[in-house]
Each structure stands twice: as C-alpha cells, then as structure tokens.
Amino acid sequence: MRFETRLLHNGNEIDSFTGASSIPIYQSSTYHQFSIDQPGEFDYARSGNPTRKALEQTITRLEGGCRGYAFASGMAAISTVFLLFSRGDHLIVSQDVYGGTYRVLTKVFDRMGIETTFVDTTDLEQVAAAIRPNTRAIYVETPSNPLLKVTDLRGIVRIAKAYRLRTIVDNTFLTPYFQRPLELGADIVVHSATKFISGHSDVVAGLVVVKDEELAEEIGLLQNAFGAILGVYDSWLVLRGLKTLQARMELSTQSAEKVALWLEQHPDVKRVYYTGLPSHEGYHLQNEQASGHGAVLSFDVGSMEKAKRILSRVRLPIVAVSLGAVESILSYPAMMSHAAMPAEVRNRHGITDGLLRLSVGLENADDLIDDLAAALQEKKVTIPAGFGNL
Ligand SMILES: *Cc1c(COP(=O)(O)O)cnc(C)c1O
C-alpha cells in the first residue's frame, strides 16, 4: 500500500476491543492482572499504554523501521537516544543542529563525559576527518535549520558503516512522507512530533524509530528506565494529526514552492533558501534522497530594521518559534532560535539580522504572497494632490 493509504490503514487505526474508529484514550496508569501467573501485555503505563502503542506502531510503519517510541517532547526523544552512549564516547553532530540538541550536548552530556564535535555534515570530508577511535555515532539534521543545508544521507551512512558507527537522523523537517532515512541505511530516526507529524500547534511530542531488534531492546529499556514518555492524551492528538500528514505536506509544500519563487524575484529580498529552488546548492541532492522539499523556507531582507518591519506588519502568519503547522509561522532566527549565538558567529554561518524563516501552512498561497508583498513594501509618503503648489 502506498504511503497515504498507510497513514489511515496500518493496523493501528481501529480499537481491537470495541471496534472504535479512533483509538480510545486509555486514561489508566495501571492494569488489572486477571491471572497473576499469566500477566497481560500491559502492567504499568510508563512501560506501555494502548494509545501510545498505537502511535508507536504507526510511526514505525511509516518510517519503515523495526520499532518506535513516543516521548514527552522532541528533546526527550533526542536525549533518550543520547543515553545510548557512555562516558568516553565521542559523537559527530551537524554544526547547524537544532538549538536544543546543541544545548543538551554541550551543557548536559558533555558534563557526563560524552564528547561532541560539531562539523558541517554537508562536507563528507569534514565528517570523515572528525572520526576518532572513540567515535560512536554521526548525528545529522537534513535539511538544516534555518538555511536548509542538505546533508548526503547515503554518504554519511557509507562513512558510518566503514567505521562501525551509528547514524542518527533528525527527520523533523521532511517527515517520512518525503524522506525515510532508515531506507537509506540510517539506524535511528528522531522527530519533534510537535511539528509536521502532529501539525496543529497544539501538542509537544517526540518520536524515535529504530531499524533493528538490538536497538529496539536498548531504546525500549531507556524509555522505560528514564521515563520521559508521551502522555496518553497527547499520544491521541499526535495519532489524529498524523492521519492528514500527506494532505498537509502536499499542500503546504506546493504553497512553499510558490512563495519561494515569488520571494526570489522580489527586488527587496536578498536571498531565498529553499531546497525546491534550482538555485539552492542542495537542490539535486535533495531530489535524490527525498521525494519533496517540505514547507519551510528562509529569506534574507538585508537588515534587522526591514526584518522587524515585516514581522510587525504580516497579518496571516503567526510570529512565533516552531514550524510545521496548519497555520503559517514566521520566525526571526537572530532573536529567537539563534539568539544565544554571538552575532559574529551567526553572521559567519549566514544567520544574518535580515533572515526570516517561514513555515508555510494551509492558507491560500496567493493570500500569503499578498500579505508578504504588503509587509515588504516600503511605506510611501503620499503627498496630497496640489500640495507642491503651496
Ligand atoms: C523543534 C525541534 C526539535 C525539538 O523538539 P521539541 O518537541 O520542541 O522538544 C528537534 N529538532 C528539530 C529539527 C526541531 O525543529
């Protein structure tokens, strides 16, 4: 069955006890054991819950993995994956990784003796050069945030396999609808399900999918031991959001392409970053490893003054952090996601004071373009007719 059909028919859509068309919210922390000698599948809800299980099995099918796990946030999922590693281990991580991932590695796991080298993973030579005898994994995010740089997943997997390293991919921006890293040879996929997977800006959640039984055992133990599980109601919300993933991704990606093309020809826009534009350096690679370009783009308007003017004038996108929702979201990396980065470092990485990131939602694309056009327009001082004659 094709992906969009599997979103709705994957064996986890009907409650096996009642036939309910939506998996019930099993709001229960513990389970009566009808026989003490033959305990049932569920005993305590940190270890397992039928609603969460339906979500975990659904994401497993969609990513083409062996097993899946749901966590209280994307960061809970990512941090739990890092618990696979021990004191003395070394990791290679994409330089422009999500800010929270950078923070947990440099402020928490670093303290516990897990070392990280941040490299530009779009350059495979840099990745290979960073490998040490104690390197255990390569962690990549592609396309990256906010400049949408594309890392060659097959190339990373080739290096990782040669050195017996694990490959971990943050697949938040594209979702399994457009990109399936496990099929390209990765070992673990992580998600902030807060974004496109749930899609409605109404829940914070994280997911992990692993490719084999050995990793399934390890992550399963960590999920239960550390306990950062996704709550039952939130599991239900993610399951509900996931059903429309294909419809949302298709429409918002079509609109993103239209908006990106329009921005690219606008005289006041210095540069547009979108992998769907042939002018983007990752365009061809993205076409080889993913089936679409997603709904996130960035554009540079040249100065903080202009960026702030646009942020204060747009009427359709909400001005906020986050992405991947039914409503468009406009963010300002310099003062939001990358505020902690010194201005000099930010500028060197292309995250300038004029850079805005747009996550395109389900509004009509022409309405979004009209809104951006009005926001971009310099306010003209209109001189009343005849004024010059006074
Ligand atoms: C938001 C995000 C995260 C963190 O997820 P939370 O659900 O906010 O904890 C991780 N990776 C990427 C790419 C993200 O966009």
| Contact between residue 177 and residue 3 where contact means Cβ atoms under 8 Å apart | yes
Question: How far does the centroid of ligand 1 lie from the alpha carbon of residue 75, in Å?
Answer: 6
The two beta strands, 188-192 and 206-210, are antiparallel
Q: Is the C-beta atom of 98 inside 6 A of ligand 1?
A: yes
pLDDT band at 116 (very low <50, low <70, confident <90, very high): very high
Task: With a cut of 60, say whether residue 389 has pLDDT above it.
Answer: no
pLDDT band at 340 (very low <50, low <70, confident <90, very high): confident
Of ligand 1's atoms, which has the minimum distance to the CA of residue 76?
Answer: 9
Of ligand 1's atoms, which has the minimum distance to the CA of residue 194?
Answer: 7
Q: Is the C-beta atom of 332 inside 6 A of ligand 1?
A: no
**DSSP notation for 85-149:** --TT-EEEEETT--HHHHHIIIIIITTTT-EEEEE-TTSHHHHHHT--TTEEEEEEESS-TTT-P
Of ligand 1's atoms, which has the minimum distance to the CA of residue 323?
Answer: 15
The pLDDT of 112-127, averaged and rounded, is 97
| CA pair distance 297, 371, nearest whole angstrom | 16
Helix (H) or strand (E) holding 206: strand 206-210
Q: Residue 298: which of 191, 176, 143, 101 has the closest Cα?
A: 143
pLDDT by residue (tens digit) across 363-375?
999 999 999 999 9
Question: How far does the centroid of ligand 1 lie from the alpha carbon of residue 36, in Å?
Answer: 41
| CA pair distance 250, 375, nearest whole angstrom | 26
Q: Is the C-beta atom of 74 inside 6 A of ligand 1?
A: yes
pLDDT by residue (tens digit) across 218-276?
999 999 999 999 999 999 999 999 999 999 999 999 999 999 999 999 999 999 999 99
| CA pair distance 348, 344, nearest whole angstrom | 6
Q: Is the C-beta atom of 94 inside 6 A of ligand 1?
A: no
Q: How many CB atoms neighbour CB 74 within 10 A?
A: 25
pLDDT by residue (tens digit) across 280-334?
999 999 999 999 999 999 999 999 999 999 999 999 999 999 999 999 999 999 9
List of domains in the chain: 3-242 (3.40.640.10), 245-376 (3.90.1150.10)
Q: Which positions are catalytic?
A: 46, 98, 170, 195
The pLDDT of 202-217, averaged and rounded, is 98
